[in-house]
Structure 1
Amino acid sequence: QLADLEPLAFAALHQMRSAILGLAPGGLDSRRLAAGLRKHMNSLCIGRRLAFDVHVTPAFDRWPLALRHELLLIAQEGVANIARHANACQARIAIEECNGGVAVIIEDDGVGFDPAQAAIVDGVGLDGIRRRVERLGGHFLHETQPGEGVRLYIDIPLQRAAPLP
């Protein structure tokens, strides 16, 4: 029965996140994504000083809508993780076209964590990003150590990423 509820929960989460950013999926372009992510980070980091850089390639606008929406959700989760856990002074998200695919880098200069502890929580945060990337046929790698911040490297092939349920 819980498995039946998962798609409904994900759909509700997608709608909520899109509403928070003020992005209608059909109107999602590189400029609006970058502005929406900045707004999202600012709303999560009220009262904290965080230099946040976002770069989204203009090629984003040509990619399939389903892929753009998935990248929005990946980036939102990355922003939320930085705001919740990093205690960072600087953070960056870059979404680029690279070697026939999409390259995403999400990084911060925060507190980092013990990579061995990342596997303990299933289905949320980094694991949720990893699962989303794998559903798109991509690869996910994170680098971190306590006190050294976090760097997420994501690559997704464009030809495989388009069809999503």
Structure 2
Amino acid sequence: MSAAWMNLQALKNQISKLNSAEADLLDKSLALVNESCNEVRQVSHNMMPNALLLKGLVKAVQEFIGQINQRNIKINLTTEGLSDNLPSHIETVLYRVIQESVNNVIKHSKASKLDISIIKSLDGIDVMIEDNGIGFNLKNANKTNGIGLSNIKSRIQYLEGTVEWNTSEKNGTLVAIFIPLTKRISPNL
């Protein structure tokens, strides 16, 4: 897109005899391409926040929570054993899963409280995301528009982890995730 913008800008600079309608059209095209470049840049930053790259998972989650402007929900984050950064692919997946889960809580749960814990042990990483909202019917969610849930499940399975939802209508939701950090040795080797 940057190349398209530069080509349009070069064309504008080379063509000196444009009538006002043509000049206006070219200016609008330049503005649209520039706006598209800015939007792509923003999407790119949202996909991989700088905090995740520079400071690790905990800081990135803290910044994400800090950006949420929800006065009607209190979000608590507890971490343990995460003084060192995890492998980047694990941090990226966990960040995305936490982000998706928090967004689901905000959109659907009507919760007033959300607790997130990320605990690293020798065996792996436990992530718990629990709200006091209205809960949901897990079977119905998987049948209808459970794209977010299946996305979370596939991301966790990619890391050979497990994810479980403990929820029922009117009883809030608990998302329990475990990511193993020890190498699994296949008995067939």
Question: Smaller-chain TM-score range?
Answer: 0.7 to 0.9
Paired residue for 1:116, among 113, 126, 139? 139
Paired residue for 1:17, among 34, 38, 46? 46
Partner of residue 144, structure 1: 167
Q: Which moved more, 1:31-40 or 1:108-117?
A: 31-40
Residue aligned with 1:125, SS? helix
Paired residue for 1:33, among 60, 68, 72? 60
Amino acid at match of 2:46: R
Q: Which moved more, 1:124-133 or 1:72-81?
A: 124-133
TM-score, normalised via structure 2 length: 0.66
The C-alpha deviation readout for 1:123-155, integer Å capped at 9, x for no partner, is 622221111001110011101110000000000
Q: Which sections of structure 2, spanning at least 5 residues, go unmatched?
A: 1-40, 185-189
Q: Which moved more, 1:62-71 or 1:88-97?
A: 62-71
Q: Which sections of structure 1, spanning at least 5 residues, go unmatched?
A: 1-11
Deviation at 1:26, TM superposition (A): 2.3
Relative to structure 1, the CA distance from residue 123 to residue 146 in structure 2 (aligned partners, 3 Å threshold; closer, same or farther) is: closer
Partner of residue 121, structure 2: 98
Deviation at 1:51, TM superposition (A): 1.1
Partner of residue 36, structure 2: none
Q: Which moved more, 1:26-35 or 1:109-118?
A: 26-35
Relative to structure 1, the CA distance from residue 160 to residue 137 in structure 2 (aligned partners, 3 Å threshold; closer, same or farther) is: farther
The 2-side partners of 1:151 and 1:113 are apart by: 11
- Specify the structure having the higher radius of gyration (Cα): 2
Amino acid at match of 1:17: N
Amino acid at match of 1:27: L
* RMSD, matched Cα: 2.6
The 2-side partners of 1:13 and 1:75 are apart by: 20
- Report the number of matched residues: 144
Percent sequence identity over matched residues?
A: 24
TM-score, normalised via structure 1 length: 0.75
The 2-side partners of 1:14 and 1:97 are apart by: 30
Higher RCO (CA < 8 A, seq sep 6+):
1
The 2-side partners of 1:53 and 1:128 are apart by: 24
